[in-house]
Structure 1
Amino acid sequence: MQSRRPLGQRSSPDGLLDDVNKAIIEQLQQDGRRSYAAMATAVGLSEAAVRQRVQRLLDAGVMQIVAVTDPLRVGFHREAMIGVRVTGDSRIVAEAIATLPEVDYVVLTAGSFDIIAELVAENDDHLLELINSRIRAMSQVLATETFVYLRLVKQTYTWGVR
């Protein structure tokens, strides 16, 4: 079993990810609605100090606090991952794909695809429109491969922090 160091002993170069902030992040990963008071008790700080630390983490872009929905229950009946091969600067295409409101995840990759994007669509016609008229229509897109989701088996955001 790994021994834990006391809070505050490890920190990132900028000091933002010390053990207290990591503990706060872990608290919020377990329950994004956890109160500042409950987190304060868990990490040994005042409620005001926790509130300030959470705001700094949000402002720095280290984390977001959002509601994660089930797309099927909010009107999107098709989810897919799209592998995209491009010519030229893949960052430009990735940024363009990221502007599409149906796209919720875009990564630049190494391997057979330059970009992988996850999207949600209302139905198969909407998915076809997104792929053909919006993604494949981009001049730098050479090819796409679509992976349609049949069932989501696991989706979690509780991996903690290192």
Structure 2
Amino acid sequence: MDTITEASVALLRRDGRASFSDIARQLNTNRTNVAKRIGALIENGDIRIVAAVHPRLLGLNVLAHVTIRSEGDVGAMSEMVCEMNSSIFVSEVAGHNQLVAELHMANMNDLYNDVHYIRSIAGVLEVQVIIYERMLKSFFLGEEPQMLELALDSIDLHLIELLQLDGRLGYSEMGEQVGLSISGCRTRINRLIETGAMQIGLLRQRTEITNELVFGFGFIATSDQSELIELLEGQRGLEFIARTVGRFNLVGTITFNDLLGFNDFVTEVRKLDGVRIAEQWLHARIRKERYQNSLHLIRETIS
């Protein structure tokens, strides 16, 4: 990818409905340069722009990062973890562990049962669990939703489902399908985003021939974490940061174009007082990324 494409992708990852004109202004180029690049990526299936609902609205209140050390056929194990309803991200990794998964479930009892199931899989040697105390940055999980301000109805759910398929669907097209005016659709969608109920962003198609390097990080900070968080948020390839309870203070994922970018980031982290990188792992083969959820749980509460 050239510089304009990379920068456009980074901006759309954080705001999937950003106009090509706005992106062009930020990159000091013209709309045509942005539109032809992003349009080609969408048409080829290299990227998707979709909406995701905050897990809290679905009653999924326990979010966990799970690392698995194993022996034997890692592919077979990863398939079994992928089949779990609670797994939204599963990756084969290079490093001390062989698999990393992210699980979303309703309560701690469900987490206990899911971890017990993973430990029962043939070849699994060790399972370590870290609980997300709070997600600080992520495509699929933004700020905690303002639950008291939400009063979702069937039209809101229909809009969300349309945006789960195409996050850049026009207000006119949505209005025709849900029976609202353009301004009515815009108002509802802005409310969903502003309250944290929904987030729209760009997903890149993960392939084994990509030049991207996707690294996971576990950090232990013995002092204020604000400088570390600021450094993380400044990374163009940032995918998520979570404040965690367990082995690390923070867990994050960053995509780099090359090892030079990775090394530069690690060097900057090591300069921060009271912060050390406890662990790094390369996502060698991402097996599952699921950000779209059935809305039946919300429907049950409003029916």
Q: TM-score, normalised by structure 2?
A: 0.42
- Alpha-carbon distance in structure 2 between the residues aligned to 1:57 and 1:124: 38
Q: TM-score, normalised by structure 1?
A: 0.72
Instruction: Name the structure 2 match of 1:31.
Output: 166
Structure 2 counterpart SS, 1:154 = strand
Residue of 234, 245, 262 corresponding to 1:99: 234
- Per the TM alignment, residue 42 of structure 1 is displaced from its structure 2 partner at its CA by 4.2
Give the conservation status (yes or no) of the 8 Å contact 1:78–1:122.
Answer: yes
- Alpha-carbon distance in structure 1 between the residues aligned to 2:260 and 2:227: 27
Residue of 147, 150, 162 corresponding to 2:284: 150
In terms of mean alpha carbon deviation, does 31-40 or 80-89 score higher? Answer: 31-40
Structure with the bigger percentage of helix: 2
Instruction: Name the structure 2 match of 1:120.
Output: 255
1:135 aligns with 2:269: yes
Identical counterparts, % of pairs = 24
Instruction: Name the structure 2 match of 1:51.
Output: 186
**What is the root-mean-square deviation of aligned Cα atoms in Å?**
2.9
- Alpha-carbon distance in structure 2 between the residues aligned to 1:23 and 1:88: 46
**Residues 66 and 35 (structure 1), Cα distance of their counterparts in 2 relative to 1, 3 Å cut:** same
- Per the TM alignment, residue 59 of structure 1 is displaced from its structure 2 partner at its CA by 4.4
Could you tell me which runs of 5 or more consecutive residues in structure 2 were left unpaired when the two chains were aligned: 1-146, 299-303
Structure 1 counterpart SS, 2:200 = coil
Could you tell me which runs of 5 or more consecutive residues in structure 1 were left unpaired when the two chains were aligned: 1-11
Give the conservation status (yes or no) of the 8 Å contact 1:79–1:118.
Answer: yes
**Residues 25 and 91 (structure 1), Cα distance of their counterparts in 2 relative to 1, 3 Å cut:** farther
Q: Write out the 4+ residue segments of structure 1 that deviate beyond 6 Å after TM superposition.
A: none
Give the conservation status (yes or no) of the 8 Å contact 1:71–1:120.
Answer: no
Structure 2 counterpart SS, 1:139 = coil
- Alpha-carbon distance in structure 2 between the residues aligned to 1:96 and 1:124: 18
Residue of 85, 92, 111 corresponding to 2:220: 85
- Alpha-carbon distance in structure 2 between the residues aligned to 1:48 and 1:152: 39
- Per the TM alignment, residue 156 of structure 1 is displaced from its structure 2 partner at its CA by 2.9
Question: Number of matched residues?
Answer: 149
In terms of mean alpha carbon deviation, does 78-87 or 89-98 score higher? Answer: 89-98
Give the conservation status (yes or no) of the 8 Å contact 1:77–1:121.
Answer: yes
